[in-house]
Amino acid sequence: MRLLRQLMSDLRGATAVEYGLIAAIMSVALLSGYSAFTGSLLGTFNAVETHFTDANN
């Protein structure tokens, strides 16, 4: 019974789970931000390429 009470009062596992959730949320946010940035950067390069292609013709 004493072991069960110790396990119930131990909060170290809960803290590890919280840190894991925070890391997962940050990873998702970074990946979606990277995806948006990549799309914007590709659009910029395409616009520059089109500008130079039209200027040479």
- Domain that residue 45 falls in: 2-56
Q: How many domains does the chain have?
A: 1
pLDDT tens track of the chain, all 57 residues? 787 777 667 767 778 888 889 999 999 999 999 988 998 899 999 999 999 888 776
Residue 17 pLDDT: 84
Q: Which residue has the tokens 């089109």?
A: 50
CA-to-CA separations, 56 to 16, 40, 50, 52, in angstroms, rounded: 59, 25, 10, 6
- The CB-side HSE value for 37 (13 A sphere, CA atoms) comes to 6
Residue 28 pLDDT: 94
Residue 7 pLDDT: 65
Residue 57 pLDDT: 66
